[in-house]
Amino acid sequence: MQMVDKVMTILPPREIYSEGHAGAISLLVSRLAEDNDIVVGNEIKTPALTGGKFVGLSYPPYVPYLAPLSLKYKMACLHAIFAHKPSLVEVHNKPDLAYSLARLLPVRLILHNDPQTMRGAKTPQKRLRIAQKLLVCGVSEWVVSRFKDGDASFPPDIAIQHNYLDMAALPKGKPRVNTVLFAGRVVADKGVDVFVQAWAQCRNLFPDWEAVIIGADRFGPHSPETPFLRALRKEAQKSGVTLLGYQSHEDVLNAMRQASIVVVPSRWPEPFGMTALEAMGCGAAVIASSAGALPEVVGDTAILVEPGNETALSDALKNLMNNPALRKELGHRAQLRAAHFFNLNAARHRLHELRRAAIEKREKLNRD
């Protein structure tokens, strides 16, 4: 398959392309980036992630100091485009920016969240004009369905680009322990308080098991102590749940490899569910809520529960803690599913396909 000569990937402004501070999008971009790819984002003070060549954006002096951040970011991206002259630009999670840049060169928009909540894509009319001008990709069928919202007039080329795992890089050989693990942002949307409440209902029946929460309000070691986190800390102490705070991605994966059960009890509709996929790849038994794209990711390899229902989650925990054979079976099937449907090699092949498709769409628009 013919490669696209030079690709520039534009990160969302809040993403930090640096080890120990990177969010999910930065990590995914890093592992897929080709050697000659250019990754641009806000300046960083620590070494960049491997994968592509990182270029910190500088704000041109002609941009007014009091200009909105979105305008400043757009102007900085334009400055980088004129300096590096890519043949394709990939924009993550910024529909308004992608649409603006599509007037100049081929653009591919990758959506990691609900597009109906994003600037420049909140109405069907705005989403339609974006889809007509550039190639739109969503990380799940759920995201794509939210973009189309049942409208048959959208172009048929809106594509799915699933997130993925590098199975070879996952930790191996660690014995399972009697731990139920939550890993992720410690916010209400992720249902971490539901997990604490569920554990309170069943902990006395399983004295040889422990419940652990890894994460903070935000990614990175300097996350604030929010009112939600303070309240959760008190409830967790009462319920016998250990809060370990923020840990590196490597440490999280090691914890998943040792935990017997990983819970993903999200209230909000997960646009993909990377935590669930990582737990699957590590061979843990997964309990996930039925919100958003989580059923699409886990398939029949996890126990699904109603979002926000602590009793349903507690019942699922009891079921798995009482049944080591079921835990082993689910973990094995989950690992096979992750390796088959969400592997790195398939993701790279898909990336090349979609990059070519974005170029071809632009060429067709120019001819028409």
pLDDT digits (tens, 9 = 90+) for 189-241: 999 999 999 999 999 999 999 999 999 877 666 777 889 999 999 999 999 99
* 122 dihedral zone (left: phi>0; alpha: psi -120 to 50; beta): alpha
Give CA 106 to chain center in angstroms.
24
CATH number of 7-164+344-367: 3.40.50.2000
Give CA 252 to chain center in angstroms.
15
CB atoms near residue 203 (< 10 Å): 18
Confidence tier at 66 by pLDDT (50, 70, 90): confident
Q: Nearest-CA neighbor of 254 among 281, 219, 285?
A: 281
pTM over 0.85: yes
Confidence tier at 4 by pLDDT (50, 70, 90): confident
CA distances from 48 to 18, 45, 228 (A): 4, 9, 32
Question: Of 94-98, 221-225, 304-308, which gets the smallest average pLDDT?
Answer: 221-225
In tens, the pLDDT along 104-121 reads: 999 999 999 999 999 999
Q: Nearest-CA neighbor of 158 among 115, 117, 94?
A: 115
pLDDT of residue 216: 86
**Does residue 1 surpass a pLDDT of 60?**
no
3 or 364, which is more confident: 364
**Does residue 299 surpass a pLDDT of 80?**
yes
User: What is the C-alpha separation between 188 and 53, in angstroms, rounded?
Assistant: 36
Residue 183's SS3 state is strand
CA distances from 106 to 42, 62, 102, 356, 358 (A): 22, 26, 6, 10, 6
In sequence order, what are the beta bridge partners of 243? Answer: 213
Question: Of 86-90, 248-252, 277-281, 351-355, which gets the smallest average pLDDT?
Answer: 248-252
CA distances from 361 to 3, 121, 354 (A): 16, 20, 10
Residue 261's SS3 state is strand
Q: If you classify domain 167-341 with CATH, what class do you get?
A: alpha beta
**CA angle, corner 259, sides to 321 and 229, nearest 5?**
95
Residue 179's SS3 state is strand
Domain ranges of the chain: 7-164+344-367, 167-341
Q: Judge whether 7-164+344-367 and 167-341 match in fold.
A: yes
Q: What is the DSSP letter of 171?
A: -
pLDDT of residue 282: 98
Give CA 35 to chain center in angstroms.
23
